């Protein structure tokens, strides 16, 4: 393996890592706040991509792209709130909320995917790249689109992280996540915070969809793979800190890129899932986790 190939694989791994980080962060926001696992997250990503595609068709160039991004974020925030109210809220006070919400979000994902199929049809589509053309660093050529994407993802993640860490609402969201009853007794508006967290998570998924749609083809069932990857990343890294799934995402992205290069495309997922099971046996709270959430 030459140094150039190494850099090439590295760049590919970073792009994957950035995408996974965005997907996993969205998933982790719901997990840490509500203690449940949202299986509709993949469908959210799909929906975000299609919304962005639909809106960006009407406008030309970058304006279309921004309009699409805005539509994806706003549309998905609303979708997330609706999903929370319809699929999770009814079981909030039930002891088996985890299992029930797994099945309702799975059903919700089925509905959303098939609705997308009905509206946009099964034919695959693609979003135009944000910026056309390629750039060359150290002899490695990648598309400018991918570089921009990594930068944007990092900016978005930093913004979300800062929101959760420093804003009053973000702080309240974290508080609700850790002790619902104490938060209620302190006068926080728990239902609103829950819905907000779900909406935030869905909006992040919408942005992820926007990026996925600009580098892969879009189909109504395109969300399954990102969902599995996000799941993998979240387990891998744990959710103890906001940053743990992000580190894990880059680790997974790089492992994936290098294992594709070395052991081949077919074996890569098996390597990833096998690795994840090893992590879970040795360290169930995740590689970067500090404690196990008592769900």
Partner 1 sequence: MRYDPPFRKSTGFIPALVALALLVVFPFVFTDTYSRHLMILVFIYAIVAASWDLSLGFGGLVNFAHVALFAVGMYTYGILAKTLGLDPWLAIPAGGLVAMAFAAAIALPILRLDGIYVILVTIAFSQLIYQIVISQSDVTGGTSGMVLLPPLKLAGHSFVLNHKIGYYYTALGIFVVSTACLYTIIRSRLGRAVIALRDNKYYAMARGVSEARTRLAALAASAFFAGVAGGFYGSYVRVASPDAFGLGFLTLILSILLVGGAGTLWGPIVGAFVITLLSEAIADYGPWRSIAIGAIIILILVFYPGGLWAAVQELREGVDMARTSMLARWRRNRGRAERERRLGTREQVISTPHGLIAYADSGGDKPPVLFIHGNSACKEAFQYQFAALRDDFRLIAFDLPGHGVSGNGEPETDYNVPAYAEVAEKVLETCGVKNPVVFGWSLGGYVALELSARAVVKVRGLAIAGTTPLNLVPDDFGAGYDASSHLILAGKQYFSPTEARAYAGSATAPYSATSAFMHRNLGRTDGRARVYMFSKLGVTDWPRQMRMLRDGTVPFAILNGSDDPFLNHSYIRGLHYGSIWTGAPFDIAGGKHAPFFNKPDEFNAAFRRFMREACGL
Partner 2 sequence: MSTVPLLELQHLSGGYEPVQIFRDVDLVIAHGTSTGLFGPNGHGKTTLLRTVSGVIDPWSGNILFEGKQLNRPGERGRRRSRNLNYDVFTRRRMNPKNVARAGLIHVAQGNLLYRELTVRETLGIAPIAARGRGEPGDLTEKALRLFPRLSERMNQKVRFLSGGERQMLSVACGLIAAPRLLILDEPTLGLSPKLRRELADAIQAIKADGVPLIIVDQDVDFLKSLIETLYLFDHGRISGRIERADMPSHEEIMRMLFGEVHS
Give contact residues for partner 2 (rule: CB under 8 A). Answer: 90-94, 168, 171-172, 174-175, 178-179, 181-190, 240, 291
* Residue 118 within binding range of partner 1, rule CB under 8 A: yes
CB closer to partner 2 out of 92 and 225:
92
Q: Map tokens 């680790």 to a residue.
A: 251
Residue 63, binding choice from partner 2, partner 1, none, Cβ under 5 to 8 Å by partner class: none
Rounded (10°) CA dihedral 221, 22, 104, 181: 180
Residue 189, binding choice from partner 2, partner 1, none, Cβ under 5 to 8 Å by partner class: partner 2
Residue 98, binding choice from partner 2, partner 1, none, Cβ under 5 to 8 Å by partner class: partner 1
Residue 92, binding choice from partner 1, partner 2, none, Cβ under 5 to 8 Å by partner class: partner 2
CB closer to partner 2 out of 72 and 188:
188
Long-range contacts of 107-111 (CB under 8 A, 24+ apart): 108/39, 108/40, 108/43, 108/83, 109/39, 109/40, 109/42, 109/43, 109/223
* CB 192 to partner 2: min, Å: 9
Task: Scan residues 221-260 and list those touching partner 1 (CB under 8 A).
Answer: 224, 228, 231-232, 234-235
Q: Which stretch binds partner 1 (CB under 8 A): 126-134, 159-167, 204-212, 276-284?
A: 276-284
* Residue 178 within binding range of partner 1, rule CB under 8 A: no
HSE of 118 in the Cβ direction (CA atoms, 13 Å)?
6
Q: Note the residues at the interface with partner 1 (CB under 8 A).
A: 31, 35-37, 39, 86-87, 90-91, 94, 98-100, 102-104, 106-111, 113-115, 117-118, 224, 228, 231-232, 234-235, 266-267, 269-270, 273-274, 276-277, 280-281, 284, 292, 294-295
């Amino acid at each position: 393996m030459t140094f150039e190939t190494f850099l090439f694989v590295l760049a590919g791994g970073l792009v994957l890592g950035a995408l996974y980080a965005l997907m996993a962060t969205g998933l982790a926001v719901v997990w840490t706040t509500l203690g449940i696992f949202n299986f509709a997250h993949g469908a959210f990503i799909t929906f975000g991509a299609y919304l962005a595609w639909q809106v960006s068709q009407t406008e030309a160039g970058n304006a279309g792209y921004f309009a699409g991004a805005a539509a994806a974020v706003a549309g998905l925030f609303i979708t997330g709130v609706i999903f929370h109210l319809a699929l999770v809220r009814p079981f909030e006070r039930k002891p088996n909320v985890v299992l029930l919400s797994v099945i309702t979000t799975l059903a919700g994902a089925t509905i959303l995917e098939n609705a997308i199929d009905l509206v946009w049809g099964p034919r695959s589509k693609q979003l135009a790249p944000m910026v056309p053309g390629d750039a060359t660093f150290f002899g490695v050529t990648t598309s400018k689109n991918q570089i921009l994407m990594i930068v944007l993802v990092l900016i978005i993640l930093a913004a979300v992280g800062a929101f959760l860490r420093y804003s009053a609402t973000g702080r309240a969201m974290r508080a609700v996540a850790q002790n619902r009853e104490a938060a209620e007794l302190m006068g926080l508006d728990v239902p609103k915070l829950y819905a907000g967290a779900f909406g935030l998570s869905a909006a992040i998924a919408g942005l992820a969809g926007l990026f996925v749609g600009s580098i892969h083809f879009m189909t109504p069932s395109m969300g399954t793979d990102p969902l599995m990857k996000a799941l993998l990343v979240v387990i891998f890294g744990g959710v103890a800190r906001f940053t743990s799934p992000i580190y894990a995402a880059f680790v997974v992205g790089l492992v994936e890129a290098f294992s594709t290069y070395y052991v081949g495309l077919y074996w890569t997922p098996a390597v990833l899932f096998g690795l994840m099971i090893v992590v879970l046996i040795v360290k169930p709270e995740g590689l970067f986790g500090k404690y196990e959430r008592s769900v």
